[in-house]
Structure 1
Amino acid sequence: MSRARIWWEIGIVLALGLGQSAVYAVVQLAYRLTDETPLGDQTATLNPSRSDREFFDLIYQLLSIGFGIVPVLLVCYLLWQPRTPHLADLGLDGTRPGRDIGRGALLLLAIGIPGLGLYLLGRTLGWFVAVDPAGLDAHWWTVPILLLSAARASIQEEFVVLGYLFARLRQLGWGPWPIIVATSLLRATYHLYQGPGAFIGNFAMGLLFGWLFARTGRLLPFLVAHFLIDATVFVGYPWAAATWPSLFGLPG
């Protein structure tokens, strides 16, 4: 495959998902910074309700999650190999799942605790908007949908940012650290809608994930870690908001 074709392919894949999110996040940050309301008094809702009618809200949530993983299906199709393991270029070979899951759980601690500390500091300094991870009304399906949303975010981001981009940028002759820095910048940019603090935190997370992925070439630990981090935040938000309303709750 020619270099020009690879670049076109990368551009199309990103335009269908995370690249599009990055562009919108930059515009959202500009909007927030030029708004009369101080950044620290603004709110970002990650999983908003999509209808005031419960049945249709559920349908919209499922459709959003389903269409959100279409770019993942695309990169799997593009990197699929006839021989087994079919998705080896993405870092998935089906071996050592227990060890990979365990490493993902350890990454939860390595990322989650410092990330919480950065958010608390950022809220105090006005670097973060107030993030409402669970804007859904309370229904019987709320927790399952939040867990599916965490899975979608994990699959979409890690398949594309780590698996796909590492594979294609290597084909273009990039070295490990240029790839790690570039993918970390992308990861940080599509979180800018949460404020400058989110850029710093996600850039640091991207550097750690990228460095470890470059060393191991195994995607599953990062899928597990990302899912556990988001699931903890999405489902644990009501408790956190009640315990620390000034930091986790919605601004008054």
Structure 2
Amino acid sequence: MADSFPQEAVSRRILRSETVLVLALSLGASGVSALISFVGSLTKPGGLKDQAATLNSSYAPGRPWLDLAWQLFGITTALVPVALVAHLLIREGTGLRAIGFDRTRPWPDIGRGTLVAAGIGSAGLAFYLVARTAGFNLTVVPESLPDVWWKFPVLILSAIQNSVVEEVIVVGYLLRRLGQLGWTPMAALVASSVLRGSYHLYQGIGGFIGNMVMGVVFVLLYRRWQRVGPLVAAHALLDIGAFVGYALLAGKVGWLPTP
């Protein structure tokens, strides 16, 4: 006779497995990849600041149309875990509106996101410059795309993709699932923030710490507003500023590090 389990235990077991699988297909895997990359950087001759971490690079140098196809393919497939989360939440009877990622409050979301981005952006840049100077961070190269007509649209799309994936999964979805699994609010905050820091570890210790602190702020704001929308807007603006700003300023100002 097959063993029987209480329905609540079965549900918790399913939710736990579901959460692990979602993370394994997305940012959890990115965290492991970043850790391996960081170990490689640490064991490589020379200091961290003498090495570069490139975020948006060419997939097919010298072949712009093929490169564009690869860029769009990468952006699109990176959003598949978000579609999976949406599917799982719909099966739950709610959908992405349960985490505040919908079109019901676009302007308040954008307004709040703009304020958050303005507050975090300058502090984050200052922290990166200090961490790199101290030898705790690699030189981050936000983009190294060729100068073609689709360069800036692709950078903007990449920024939006990053923001949607990270905030929907690491904040909205993960906090919801950890709460359903009985985690305390503090434990869930720590888990979300450490996860965010982990997949930025390829940038160095500074990238890990800076993004972990950002994760704490974003979790607290999410709990206050009960919406992922403002966080997506803030993150998108931060990444657009970093990607496009670097493309426009690299090599033209002395304070911006380049490889």
Normalising by structure 1, what TM-score?
0.94
Matched, 1:71 2:71: no
What does 1:1-252 align with in structure 2 at a 5 Å threshold? 2-52=11-61, 53-80=63-90, 86-245=95-254, 247-250=256-259
SS of equivalent to 1:45: strand
**RMSD after superposition:** 1.5
Question: How far does the alpha carbon of each residue in 1:51-92 deviate from its partner, in whole angstroms, 9 at most, with x for none?
Answer: 021111000000000000000000000012687x74232223
Gaps of 5+ in 1: none
Q: Kindly provide the amino acid, as one letter, of the partner of residue 121 in structure 2.
A: G
| Distance in structure 1 (CA, Å) of the matches to 2:22 and 2:95 | 20
| Distance in structure 1 (CA, Å) of the matches to 2:25 and 2:172 | 16
SS of equivalent to 2:101: coil
| Distance in structure 2 (CA, Å) of the matches to 1:136 and 1:247 | 18
> In terms of Rg, which structure is larger?
2
1:95 CA displacement? 2.7
Paired positions, count? 249
Q: Kindly provide the amino acid, as one letter, of the partner of residue 95 in structure 1.
A: T
| Distance in structure 2 (CA, Å) of the matches to 1:82 and 1:163 | 14
SS of equivalent to 1:151: helix
SS of equivalent to 1:2: helix
Contact persistence 1:187–1:202 (CA under 8 A): yes
Gaps of 5+ in 2: 1-9
1:146 CA displacement? 0.3
1:247 CA displacement? 4.1
Once the two structures are aligned, what percentage of the paired residues are identical? 45
SS of equivalent to 2:220: helix
Normalising by structure 2, what TM-score?
0.92
- Partner residue in 1 for 2:7: none
SS of equivalent to 2:250: helix
Contact persistence 1:108–1:225 (CA under 8 A): yes
| Distance in structure 2 (CA, Å) of the matches to 1:37 and 1:7 | 42
SS of equivalent to 2:53: strand
| Distance in structure 2 (CA, Å) of the matches to 1:36 and 1:82 | 51
Farther-moved stretch of structure 1 (3-12 vs 148-157): 3-12
Q: Kindly provide the amino acid, as one letter, of the partner of residue 64 in structure 2.
A: E
Question: How far does the alpha carbon of each residue in 1:151-183 deviate from its partner, in whole angstroms, 9 at most, with x for none?
Answer: 110011011011110111110112222111110
| Distance in structure 2 (CA, Å) of the matches to 1:50 and 1:92 | 31
Contact persistence 2:87–2:95 (CA under 8 A): no
SS of equivalent to 1:212: helix
